[in-house]
Amino acid sequence: MHPSSLRTKKTAGRFVADEPLWLRILLITAVYLIIGLLILVPMAYVFWQAMAEGWEGLVKNLWQDHDTWHSMWLTMTIAPLTVVLNTIFGLAAAWTITKFKFPGRTLLVTLLDVPFAISPVVVGLMLVLLFGMQGFLGPTLREWGIKVIFAWPGLLLATMFVTLPFVARELIPLMESLGDEEETAAVSLGANPWQLFWRITLPNIKWGLVYGMIQCHARAIGEFGAVYVVSGHIAGETDTMPLRVEKLFQEYNNPGSFAVASVLTLMALATLFGKYILEQYIARQMATDSVE
Amino acid sequence: MWLSKSHRVLPGFHVGLGYTVTILTLLLILPLIACLFKVATLTPEQFFAAVWTERARAAYLLSFGASFVAAVINVAIGLLLAWVLVRYEFWGRRFLDSLIDLPFALPTAVAGLVFSSLLVKQGWYGQFLVPLGIKGAYSQLGIIIVLVFVGLPFVVRTVQPVLESLEGDTEEAAAMLGANRWQTMWRVLLPALQPSLMTGFALSFARGLGEYGSVIFISGNMPRKTEIAPVLIVARLEQFAYAEATAIAVVLMAMSLVSLALVNWLERRSRRYAP
């Protein structure tokens, strides 16, 4: 590494006390080591293991295993559905909390954080207590022919619970900082609620919204604990991809397990890439805005 | 009504509030109430018999201990990563910076699977570590390792913006007044970073307490040795001992809420006294 590439960043020409060169090299090496050992090598290892039996093995493990195939289908239906539902919720919650003052507002904000403080396993347990066969509502729902626990509605509810705050938490600070002058002006000029949302609010918050949705989607795909409890592990029916990884691992089917894991890792990389593109775009937008 | 005047013009208050409250009730409040009702079916003696067994105590201790140690490690590593990524220009900086978020994006089950395979005796890491007596797989150390991985981005992402916003002038003043680099670090920079470090610690700790997906792969889940509290809850559930499982869950929830409240209080205090 050339020493000139190790310059300390100077903030607007300000003096920032420099660390000696050897210390900088040491710290940067440490960072490379930490990220390499904790993140890069494990990621490479997933693909290495998934490819242990070559492309044919990977294809066989993913496409010809019916239960694995079903788990991919299930995850790729439940995750987007969760994102849609939580986006609607996040918009409603953020709108109510930032545009109006009402008693109980602080309580509402606090409640939004609760899913972060509860272990996903406990989330699953609570849903079982409510909707399970021995639960408070389970038997009644069963009479109506609705099965929640050990079925996809349970998986959806569990995933929704765990990812509930993501969109709202992204939008609330954003909408708070934007204020409501534009909206108030639009309403006094006769805009109806529909026009207000699509023409004024949405364009202002769209990138924050997309950011929240990306995070929500990533977490929805990866959710394990809550889903583990409510799924009942019926192969080919209620196993999502992360559950499938665990089941194959328990069956000592390492290539199969890593094959599913490699698809999940690719999705995670896609998430990171999406976030990166978005951040670049926002940075460019802000640069042009400040020029104007 | 009690809406303030300037806010009354905007539409959607009743729809928005109604929808928000309905979803929160269905998803959050009803299940919490169900939980308390279930616990109420136990007599106090049964409750204590369920939540205070030797096995349960070992599980709480491990959950809190491992999450605490992992969060402390994350504060140290996170401060280092944030510092280097913000202050230095070097080859690969932006690439490394984007990789920091991987633990957020990667399903934790994958993390557990990978680290348990890497740390066993024949694994890429295990072949070097196990001869040294460092057993990462099926041990308490393994739990700490995956919790460090899972919580890594929290501290980095809370400290980074604060470091970026710190202007050079306080450091400059400290240097001009004769402080050496080390004194500047301890007396000037750390106090300014303390609130964000605390926030990162709290987030990482809370995440560790609830973590399940990654831990079950690596811990071996042996009662009294490597069994964390969420695993014990699932074990009770699988025996259809719903009331006991709920009792343990309530204790775990209460403990995490108390410790989070404590950390929040400490954080507010340090924010108040921050320079």
| CATH assignment of the domain containing B148 | 1.10.3720.10
Taking the mean position of all CA atoms in its chain, how far away is CA A147? 26
Do A111 and A203 have their domain in common?
Answer: yes
Contacts of B104 in chain A (CB under 8 A): 215, 218-219
Q: Which stretches of chain B score pLDDT less than 70? A: 1-8, 167, 273-275
Distance from CA of A292 to the nearest CA of B (A): 24
Contacts of A165 in chain B (CB under 8 A): none
Instruction: Inspect the interface and report whether the beta carbons of B35 and A129 lie closer than 8 Å.
Output: yes
Q: How many domains does chain B have?
A: 1
Nearest to A222 among B11, B28, B106 (CB): B106
- Tell me whether residue B249 is in a domain: no
Instruction: Inspect the interface and report whether the beta carbons of A245 and B169 lie closer than 8 Å.
Output: no
Instruction: Inspect the interface and report whether the beta carbons of B117 and A254 lie closer than 8 Å.
Output: yes
Do A37 and A78 have their domain in common?
Answer: no
Q: Which domain holds residue A80?
A: 54-291
Instruction: Inspect the interface and report whether the beta carbons of A49 and B99 lie closer than 8 Å.
Output: no
Closest alpha carbon to B31 in A220, A135, A231, A159: A135
Chain A residue whose CA is closest to B63: A119
Instruction: Inspect the interface and report whether the beta carbons of A32 and B96 lie closer than 8 Å.
Output: yes
- Tell me whether residue B136 is in a domain: yes
CA distance readout (Å), A104 to A164, B2, B27: 19, 12, 18
Instruction: Inspect the interface and report whether the beta carbons of A89 and B167 lie closer than 8 Å.
Output: no
Chain B residue whose CA is closest to A266: B106
Do A125 and A264 have their domain in common?
Answer: yes
Q: Which two tokens stand for residue B197?
A: 């470090």
What is the maximal distance between C-alpha atoms in chain A?
Answer: 74
Distance from CA of B224 to the nearest CA of A (A): 19
Do A27 and A77 have their domain in common?
Answer: no
Which of these three, A49, A64, A79, is where a domain ends?
A49
- Tell me whether residue B246 is in a domain: no
Instruction: Inspect the interface and report whether the beta carbons of B31 and A224 lie closer than 8 Å.
Output: no
Long-range contacts of B235-239 (CB under 8 A, 24+ apart): B237/A125, B237/A128, B237/A229
- Tell me whether residue B266 is in a domain: no
Do A27 and A60 have their domain in common?
Answer: no
DSSP lists the bridge partners of residue A8 as B88
Do A183 and A220 have their domain in common?
Answer: yes
Nearest to B113 among A40, A229, A261 (CB): A261
Residues 6+ apart with CB under 8 A from B26: none
Chain A residue whose CA is closest to B10: A184
Closest alpha carbon to A224 in A249, A253, A252, A254: A249
Q: Can you give the pLDDT at residue A7?
A: 42
Instruction: Inspect the interface and report whether the beta carbons of B104 and A215 lie closer than 8 Å.
Output: yes
Q: Can you give the pLDDT at residue A9?
A: 46
Instruction: Inspect the interface and report whether the beta carbons of B3 and A118 lie closer than 8 Å.
Output: no
Do A282 and A185 have their domain in common?
Answer: yes
C-alpha to C-alpha distance for B3 and A288, rounded to whole angstroms: 38
The predicted model scores a pTM of: 0.89
Do A141 and A284 have their domain in common?
Answer: yes
Instruction: Inspect the interface and report whether the beta carbons of A27 and B80 lie closer than 8 Å.
Output: yes
- Tell me whether residue B14 is in a domain: no
Q: Which stretches of chain A score pLDDT less than 50? A: 1-17
Distance from CA of A258 to the nearest CA of B (A): 8
C-alpha to C-alpha distance for B198 and B212, rounded to whole angstroms: 23
Instruction: Inspect the interface and report whether the beta carbons of A180 and B84 lie closer than 8 Å.
Output: no
Do A178 and A34 have their domain in common?
Answer: no
φ, ψ of residue A49 in degrees (nearest 5) = -70, -40
Which of these three, A49, A66, A86, is where a domain ends?
A49
Amino acid residing at A137: L
Q: How many domains does chain A have?
A: 2
Chain A residue whose CA is closest to B124: A45
Nearest to B13 among A6, A96, A128 (CB): A96
Taking the mean position of all CA atoms in its chain, how far away is CA B127? 30
Chain A residue whose CA is closest to B148: A38
Contacts of A277 in chain B (CB under 8 A): none
Q: Which domain holds residue B124?
A: 61-228
Contacts of B236 in chain A (CB under 8 A): none
Instruction: Inspect the interface and report whether the beta carbons of B168 and A15 lie closer than 8 Å.
Output: yes
Mean pLDDT of chain B: 87
Contacts of A241 in chain B (CB under 8 A): 107
Instruction: Inspect the interface and report whether the beta carbons of A224 and B4 lie closer than 8 Å.
Output: no
A-interface mutation test, from B75, B106, B147, B183, most A Cβ less than 10 A away: B106
Q: Can you give the pLDDT at residue A291?
A: 65
What CATH number does the domain containing A195 carry? 1.10.3720.10
Q: Can you give the pLDDT at residue A292?
A: 55
Q: Can you give the pLDDT at residue B221?
A: 84
